[in-house]
Amino acid sequence: MLDRIRASIPALPPAEQRVARLVLADPRSFAGLPVGELAERAHVSKPTVVRFCRSVGYDGLADFKLKLAGNVNEGVPFVHRAVDDDDKAGDIVVKVIDNAVAAMLRYRNAAAGQSVERAIAALAEAGRSGRRIEFYGVGNSGIVAQDAQHKFFRLGVSAAAVSDGHVQVMSATMLRPGDVAVIISNSGRSRDLLDVAEIARKKGATVVVISASGSPLALQAQSAPNHVLLAADHPEDADRYSPMVSRLLHLLVIDILTTGVALRLGSAALRPMLQEIKRNLRAKRYVGSNESSPSTP
């Protein structure tokens, strides 16, 4: 959470930057002080303290202080451990799993509920209104975009995954207000994705960005009114290893969004369709001699 605040400082107004530095200087005290004293120490007004909390993705001061207290008091019971060249298979198993667990717990503690809520609301409204939902990613993130498309189209919404840079530009150009573009990037530095985000913004679409705090894509999202940043931070060494933790975090975020949208759309509409899909898929399975009926998994 503190890393995210530190990375967000360049995109904040000067007054909110003073609040951010106050948090970083003594997070434990910030979590316990009343708003009046926080404003006085940061030399800002009380509303500025609240605006800062919302600017970094939280519902308000109370939500921010609750998450902050959990971070500084409880911490995360696992730490990221780099894989070494001489690690045995058993060491690799433990480190890879511990790193994944640590990243998920960090995300649980630092997830900005307000940003997640805004993303779910935009996606659900697009799905309900028959608007387009486009998932953009390149390389490894393109695979995550395909997973997202696979999950969302089963909800009966218009969803597509695009990983080719030229097709992304054409797709974003055809977006309209009410559509949603979900941009997934580990580094947040892809020129193609930065261009696509800007095109989608100009077209009036809602842009949901899943990337690391402080990346160019994240900073772009923080400064645009119709952008939503879902920061997925991790200590993975992307220069040395193939992205593993980042991919798991991005898939986790997609699962959260899918679940939220499914709940918003309502089970009454989704359940018959999903049951019919399962029946049709069951008919395509091979039935062996030991299976008594087509319903056997």
Q: What mean pLDDT is predicted for residues 158-182?
A: 95
Tell me: do 179 and 258 sit in the same domain: yes
pLDDT class of 81 with cuts at 50, 70, 90: low
Quote the pLDDT of residue 104: 86
pLDDT class of 268 with cuts at 50, 70, 90: low
Q: Is residue 234 part of a domain?
A: yes
Quote the pLDDT of residue 292: 47
Give the tens place of pLDDT for each residue, 46-76.
999 999 998 888 888 888 888 887 766 655 4
pLDDT class of 240 with cuts at 50, 70, 90: low
Greater model confidence, 3 or 248: 248
Quote the pLDDT of residue 169: 96
**Residue among 110, 114, 116, 113 nearest 1 (CA):** 110
Length of the chain: 297
Question: Distance between CA 227 and CA 234 in Å, rounded?
Answer: 22
Mean pLDDT, rounded, of the chain: 85
Of 31-35, 43-47, 76-80, 226-230, the poorest mean pLDDT is in 76-80
Residue 267's domain is classified under what CATH number?
A: 3.40.50.10490
Domain final residue, candidates 46, 75, 104: 75
DSSP 211-224: E-TTSHHHHHHHTS
Tell me: do 29 and 143 sit in the same domain: no
Tell me: do 137 and 1 sit in the same domain: no
Tell me: do 164 and 226 sit in the same domain: yes
**Residue among 46, 65, 64, 44 nearest 54 (CA):** 64
Q: Is residue 285 part of a domain?
A: no
Q: Report H helices in 56-112.
A: 61-74, 89-110
pLDDT class of 131 with cuts at 50, 70, 90: very high
227-231 vs 132-136, strand pairing mode: unpaired
Q: Are 196 and 136 in contact (CB under 8 A)?
A: yes
Token digits of residue 130:
């028959």
Greater model confidence, 292 or 196: 196
Domain final residue, candidates 22, 51, 75: 75
pLDDT at 84 over 80: no
Tell me: do 129 and 260 sit in the same domain: yes
Cα R_g (the chain), whole angstroms: 21
Quote the pLDDT of residue 296: 39
Q: Is residue 107 part of a domain?
A: no
Quote the pLDDT of residue 117: 93
pLDDT class of 236 with cuts at 50, 70, 90: low
pLDDT at 220 over 90: no
Region for 270 from its dihedrals, namely left if φ exceeds 0, alpha if ψ lies in -120 to 50, beta otherwise: alpha
Question: Distance between CA 240 and CA 256 in Å, rounded?
Answer: 29
pLDDT over 90 percentage in the chain: 43
Q: Is residue 146 part of a domain?
A: yes
Q: Is residue 131 part of a domain?
A: yes
Q: What mean pLDDT is predicted for residues 13-30?
A: 90
Tell me: do 35 and 149 sit in the same domain: no
Q: Are 186 and 238 in contact (CB under 8 A)?
A: yes
Q: Is residue 31 part of a domain?
A: yes
Q: What mean pLDDT is predicted for residues 97-111?
A: 81
For residue 90, give every residue at least 6 positions away whose Cβ sits within 8 Å of its Cβ, in sequence order, or none: none
Q: Is residue 50 part of a domain?
A: yes
Tell me: do 140 and 270 sit in the same domain: yes
pTM beyond cutoff 0.85:
no
Quote the pLDDT of residue 281: 75
pLDDT at 79 over 70: no
Greater model confidence, 244 or 116: 116
State the total domains in the chain: 2
Tell me: do 266 and 201 sit in the same domain: yes
Of 116-130, 196-210, 242-256, 259-273, the poorest mean pLDDT is in 259-273
Quote the pLDDT of residue 175: 96
Phi, psi (rounded to 5 degrees) for 107: -65, -40
Tell me: do 67 and 121 sit in the same domain: no
Question: Distance between CA 260 and CA 266 in Å, rounded?
Answer: 10
Residue 68's domain is classified under what CATH number?
A: 1.10.10.10
Greater model confidence, 107 or 180: 180
Quote the pLDDT of residue 6: 86
Tell me: do 120 and 232 sit in the same domain: yes
Q: Is residue 9 part of a domain?
A: yes
Tell me: do 139 and 65 sit in the same domain: no
Residue 272's domain comprises 113-276
Q: What mean pLDDT is predicted for residues 81-103?
A: 81
Quote the pLDDT of residue 93: 85
Question: Distance between CA 43 and CA 25 in Å, rounded?
Answer: 15
Q: Are 172 and 207 in contact (CB under 8 A)?
A: no
Tell me: do 67 and 151 sit in the same domain: no
**Residue among 161, 159, 157, 150 nearest 183 (CA):** 161
